[in-house]
Amino acid sequence: MSSNKQQRFLPSGNIVVCGRAYNIGWPVVNWYDNPNFAAYRLGCYKGKDGAGSPGPLPFAPAKGLGRSPYRYRERRLLGGQRLDMRRLQDIIRQFVLHHDGCASSADCFHVLHDERGLSAHFLIDNNGWIYQTLDLADGAFHASGVNEISIGVELCNRGQVELDGEHFYSKRGMTRSVSEVVVHNTRYRMWEYTNEQYMAMAALGKALARLFPNLPQVYPQWNGMMLNTWMADPRAFAGYIGHYHVTNNKWDPGCFNFAWLMQKIRVSSVWFVCLDKSECPKPPEIAENPQIAEQQGRVLYRNNEEEAMGGYFPIGPFGRSRLWHGGIHLSLPLGAPVFTPFPGRIVAARFSEPVPTGSASFVLMRHYFRLAGVETMFFILYMHLERADPKKGRIPWLHEAEKKPFFAAMSQGSVFYPDIDVGGGEVVGHVGEAGPPGNYESQIHLEVLSPEDLPAKLEPGSFKSVDGKSSGHFCDMRDIVSAIDRPKGKGDGILTEKELRDFFQNNDERAELHKLAARFQSEWGDAPDWEQQLAASRDFRTMPKPARARLYREQIKPTLWYTPELAEKVGLPKDFVVWHYHPVRFVAWMNGQLRKQATTMVGQIQVAQGPAAAKVTDDRDSLDGFVDEEDEMSPEASRRLTLEDLANGYPEETPQK
């Protein structure tokens, strides 16, 4: 493939995962951008040495291949659900680096696809351009034993200097430094990777960190040093590894600097909004240092409790009454971006005309992680958003919304179910306006809710659990109400706007409410007794009946989105009773849980015993070490796997006894 031909295919910058494009801010040419880099083609692009008629099978196949035109396979553990991002997130836990031994990524693709019948998800050329050949939902043939759970990349590098002499790159108008590295107790003198390749890996690694929470930004170390040989059980490790960590007959990627890459790509979860109320160029990361993270959180606490017009946690929507309030309000500029802290799926949304209390537009995201072996699911609600216009292109997940099945419902202002996966840090919407009728402010309501008490499962004692299910929509829990009611210990049990404001602005005891995990009936639940509860409450007893009816009809009913139908579709309880947490504290806490997960998932490294293989080769010159029995099964055969097969594991996922 000539360089002139390649230049016609400009990079979109998008990597493709489960059928969806994610822009990573770096030159990426995926197989849609350039079909000549599609590993999905069932046959060769070129014959041997670029001549002859290409056939369907590779002409110099790797061991175990050559009988099928497929250069990839479906991941068994997806069970045929190729668009299920949540399931893929549970599977991917390794990124395997290779060097290709070639002069260009185009040459590498020819060797992999046409000669060997192999594949890698990504190829990174000398200039740092990334070529994606497969959706990450599919397994590539690149590293025997770990293809099911890994992503593979081939970095363009000729390898050993002695193969072609000192002028290999200078003759091609390029410059590269030379480095020495010891792998499997053998010293190699090889070409260094280019700065552009390192930067490409950093851009790719950062994007994957936002998409795959079970792929930690770590690499194998032994006694505090880089492990430069193979592991006895490479499949037990989670993180970034070289091909030489998987087998003793490979030495790639040789001198690649894993430590540098991990420093560049290690990311935290992000805060919901810009911390200084201005338009930030990127979502603010939660600081790794706990003290700094606490300072960041204080900015948002002050915004809610001292600057906003109310909307406290866990009671006081718009700063009034004992009504349970599952989230917080933040006062922000109209149209400011709102980010998702974690990767997840947008499961429900509505973009409608304003109601008497302002914006009733919302986005509901579901987040799923497996933390310390515990299935962890929670939801984040973004309420009072600005009504989105897909044509403006401000919200990535609404790209080409007019082509999606939900577009009609969205256009009508109804609740719709996008089922779209987004990466951590992605914009989910923009700040709208809300407030009492005639007194709107630009603000956002943020809320975290879950069917189970997650902190009690993951870290008992980290939150204080309180159960207010029996109190309906109005909090009657003495510890909460008496802390706010004045005079203290002698209050009337009815919370006024002044009492709420004084408590959340001036009383240090408010910090105790930040620590609550509170279970109560969601304010958004379209329960048949909502209006009756309002009428029976002593908070609104003095309000004339017509006024109460108007309050419900105009200010409450139009905002209710949580219906039994929605609950069944997205996985929320149908009785509207859920656990709530202060969003600022919960996000910081969950970020800590994910960081803890990154270290516990690494697993115990066992260095393999014994010498290196008799012949250690580059990927270009090798026929072995890429596939195993699991990979050799044809896609047709894999589709015939039963649910029992998948549950038992095939063949390496068999549970340990």
Reference 140, options 51, 71, 55, 37; nearest CA is 71
User: Considering the chain, what percentage of its residues have pLDDT values greater than 90?
Assistant: 67
Reference 181, options 108, 79, 251, 266; nearest CA is 251
Q: Which two tokens stand for residue 8?
A: 């016609």
How does DSSP assign 578-635, residue by residue? Answer: EEEE-HHHHHHHHHHHHHHHHHHTT----BPPS---S--B-TTT-SSSS--HHHHS-H
In single-letter form, the type of residue at position 599 comes to T
Q: Are the C-beta atoms of 64 and 96 separated by less than 8 Å?
A: no
* pLDDT over 50 (residue 635): no
pLDDT-based confidence at residue 621 (cuts at 50, 70, 90): low
Length of the chain: 657
**What residue has token string 């590993």?**
39
Phi, psi of 555 (to 5 degrees): -110, -20
Q: Which two tokens stand for residue 580?
A: 């709530």
Measure the N-to-C terminal CA separation of the chain; round to a whole number of Å: 51
How does DSSP assign 634-651, residue by residue? Answer: -HHHHHT--HHHHHH-SS
Q: Tell me the per-residue pLDDT of 109-162, one tens digit each, with 9 for 90 and over.
A: 999 999 999 999 999 999 999 999 999 999 999 999 999 999 999 999 999 999
Helix (H) or strand (E) run with residue 134 in it: none
Distances (CA, A) of 110 to 105, 118, 340, 489: 9, 10, 40, 79
The mean of the pLDDT values for the chain is 88
Handedness of CA 429, 435, 439, 441 (dihedral sign): negative
Q: Tell me the per-residue pLDDT of 502-551, one tens digit each, with 9 for 90 and over.
A: 999 999 999 999 999 999 999 999 999 998 898 888 888 888 989 989 98
Q: Which two tokens stand for residue 265?
A: 């790509």
pLDDT-based confidence at residue 626 (cuts at 50, 70, 90): low
Average pLDDT for 632-638 = 41
Q: Are the C-beta atoms of 520 and 468 separated by less than 8 Å?
A: yes
| Beta-strand pair 122-124/150-155 | parallel
What three-state secondary structure class fits 437? coil
| Radius of gyration over every alpha carbon of the chain, rounded to an integer in angstroms | 28
CA distance 424 to 428: 10
- Distance, CA of 309 to chain centre: 33
pLDDT-based confidence at residue 309 (cuts at 50, 70, 90): confident
Least confident interval from 4-13, 152-161, 273-282, 637-646: 637-646
The 8-class DSSP code of residue 364 comes to: E
CA distance 286 to 274: 11
Q: Which two tokens stand for residue 381?
A: 């609600």
* Contact partners, residue 553, CB within 8 Å, separation at least 6: none
CA distance 253 to 238: 18
583 against 632, higher pLDDT: 583
Q: Is 247 exposed, middle or buried (0-12, 13-18, 19+ CB in 10 A)?
A: buried
Is-cis flag, bond preceding 396, omega within 30?
no
Q: Tell me the per-residue pLDDT of 158-216, one tens digit each, with 9 for 90 and over.
A: 999 999 999 999 999 999 999 999 999 999 999 999 999 999 999 999 999 989 988 98
CA distance 488 to 97: 64
Least confident interval from 148-152, 169-173, 378-382, 615-619: 615-619
CA distance 263 to 249: 29
* Contact partners, residue 69, CB within 8 Å, separation at least 6: 42, 43, 56, 57
* pLDDT over 70 (residue 632): no
What three-state secondary structure class fits 191? strand
Q: Which two tokens stand for residue 293?
A: 């993270």
Q: Is 192 exposed, middle or buried (0-12, 13-18, 19+ CB in 10 A)?
A: middle
Top CATH class, 3-267+604-626: alpha beta
Q: Are the C-beta atoms of 362 and 349 separated by less than 8 Å?
A: yes
| Beta-strand pair 178-183/186-191 | antiparallel
Distances (CA, A) of 268 to 367, 421, 570, 593: 16, 19, 27, 11
290-480+509-581: CATH number: 2.70.70.10
Q: Is 643 exposed, middle or buried (0-12, 13-18, 19+ CB in 10 A)?
A: exposed
* pLDDT over 60 (residue 554): yes
Average pLDDT for 257-267 = 91
Q: Are the C-beta atoms of 322 and 539 separated by less than 8 Å?
A: yes
Distances (CA, A) of 62 to 118, 133, 475: 7, 19, 67
Average pLDDT for 412-430 = 94
Q: Longest C-alpha distance within the chain, in Å?
A: 94
Handedness of CA 323, 329, 331, 335 (dihedral sign): negative
* Contact partners, residue 521, CB within 8 Å, separation at least 6: 324, 469, 472, 473, 527, 575, 576, 577
Cross-strand pairs, 231: 607
CA distance 430 to 273: 10
Phi, psi of 91 (to 5 degrees): -90, -45
The 8-class DSSP code of residue 287 comes to: P
* Contact partners, residue 627, CB within 8 Å, separation at least 6: 62, 63, 64, 65, 118, 141, 144, 147
- State pTM to two decimals: 0.78
Q: Where are the domains of the chain?
A: 3-267+604-626, 290-480+509-581
pLDDT-based confidence at residue 630 (cuts at 50, 70, 90): very low
